[in-house]
Amino acid sequence: MADFLKRAWAEVSLDDLAHNYRMIRGAAEPHSKIMAVVKADAYGHGDKYCARKLAALGADWFGVSNIEEAARLRNCGITNPVLILGYTPPSFAKSLAESGFSQTVYGLDYAGELSRFALDAGVKVKIHIKCDTGMGRLGFVCTDDKTAGGSAALVVWAAGLPGLIPEGLYTHFASADQHERGREFTGAQFDRFLDFKRRLLESGRSFALYHCCNSAALMLYPHMHLDMVRPGIILYGLPPSPETRDCLPLRPCMQLKTVISQLKTVSRGTVISYGRDYKTDRETRIATVPVGYADGYIRAMSGRAEMLVRGMRAPVVGRICMDQLMLDVSGIPGVREGDAVTVFGRQGDQKIRIDELSDYAGTINYETACLVGKRVPRIYMENGIEIGMQGLT
């Protein structure tokens, strides 16, 4: 890797991605297809290389948030079916059809507009109908008998509109990752989904694909796998929640690294960084590293987090800046300018997990991974060799 890139960079292991996919494939019911969710630039890991690897491993479908993300997959050579899980303006019906994307439909008005634009363009758009069984976000509401009955009639109408090709019916679980705490509610959502499916079948409407399992449900509820499962965060080796940490032997795919740009020894009583919040209580060896909140290492971790230097933990001291931060490396022998620093990941026998940093920041590992900034290049490793880079192009 060119030296100019070694300010802050993320190393993504495609070998670990492959390991995780195989664990997921082994955990899923044999008849269930795998929809690899690569939205948000593959949860911050970089969709180009991750999607290509997942396709080569046998992923059946890909899930994305929007049409821009779907187009990125096509542009990097992905020919698999792609489901857009979120909103696409109905005026994009022609683009959806020509690219072969499947669009989520979650309401009758939206279905009508999509149908109208499809007819105007002389195309047919593939759709998956989403029903809301308790998430309260997108979908035809079917949280009780009354709403399910009304929504079933609307779905039959929507799925029969000209210019639309109904492929699937799905829902999303709100608390599957809570394991025992979420078991009852997840079970209720699944029962509502099956009831809604039954109502539609009795009305003469069936679909080729029924799916509801996110990462947590895939691991915890094999009887809910149905025709397809939708793993997301676990593809990248991260548990959906602390309660699910030991469900599968996953391997985190990403490590974030930087270097020491300056070393200096400061006297007792020296203030470090903005606001003068931190003052040394002894002679201190301070290492400045060129990574900051613009790279996704947010200020909330100031004075809480640690990084790995020469295989030892060094605390972050003072406020984290936009592009830099400071470490106390007083207790670490042999530290030099230019030494590699592991922000999260492994160094020697020590490791810092994304979950650890997420706890300090009061958030979840999904957000921490997604926040790794776009100016941080992703370096892709396979069999111990760098095979490509995404970013800084």
pLDDT in tens, 239-256: 999 999 999 999 999 999
Residue 359 to residue 303: CA distance in whole angstroms: 13
Instruction: Give the pLDDT confidence score for residue 6 in this predicted structure.
Output: 74
Report yes or no on 182 lying in a domain.
yes
**Same-domain check for residues 266 and 293:** yes
Q: What is the mean pLDDT of residues 112-127?
A: 98
Q: Which domain holds residue 177?
A: 31-235
High-pLDDT (> 70) share of the chain, %: 98
pLDDT in tens, 50-109: 999 999 999 999 999 999 999 999 999 999 999 999 999 999 999 999 999 999 999 999
Catalytic choice (33, 39, 48, 126): 39
pLDDT in tens, 361-393: 999 999 999 999 999 999 999 999 999 998 865
Residue 271's beta-bridge partner residues?
279
Q: What is the mean pLDDT of residues 201-224?
A: 98
39 has catalytic annotation: yes
**Same-domain check for residues 35 and 159:** yes
Instruction: Give the pLDDT confidence score for residue 216 in this predicted structure.
Output: 98
Residue 175 to residue 182: CA distance in whole angstroms: 5
Given a cut of 50, whether residue 152 has pLDDT beyond it is yes
Residue 233 to residue 296: CA distance in whole angstroms: 18
Give the residue from 235, 265, 280 where a domain finishes. Answer: 235
87 has catalytic annotation: no
Residues 344, 358: contact at Cβ < 8 Å?
no
Residue 139 to residue 152: CA distance in whole angstroms: 12
Given a cut of 60, whether residue 340 has pLDDT beyond it is yes
The gap from C-alpha 27 to its chain's centroid, in whole angstroms, comes to 19
Predicted TM-score (pTM) of the model is: 0.95
Given a cut of 80, whether residue 2 has pLDDT beyond it is no
pLDDT in tens, 254-263: 999 999 999 9
pLDDT confidence tier of residue 4, bands split at 50, 70 and 90:
very low
**Same-domain check for residues 224 and 268:** no
**Which of helix, strand or coil describes residue 389?**
strand
Report yes or no on 67 lying in a domain.
yes
**Same-domain check for residues 291 and 205:** no
Residue 327 to residue 266: CA distance in whole angstroms: 12
Instruction: Give the pLDDT confidence score for residue 391 in this predicted structure.
Output: 81
Catalytic choice (221, 274, 360, 374): 274
Domains of the chain: total = 2
Residues 106, 90: contact at Cβ < 8 Å?
no
CATH number at residue 365: 2.40.37.10
CATH number at residue 206: 3.20.20.10
**Same-domain check for residues 341 and 221:** no
**Same-domain check for residues 205 and 277:** no
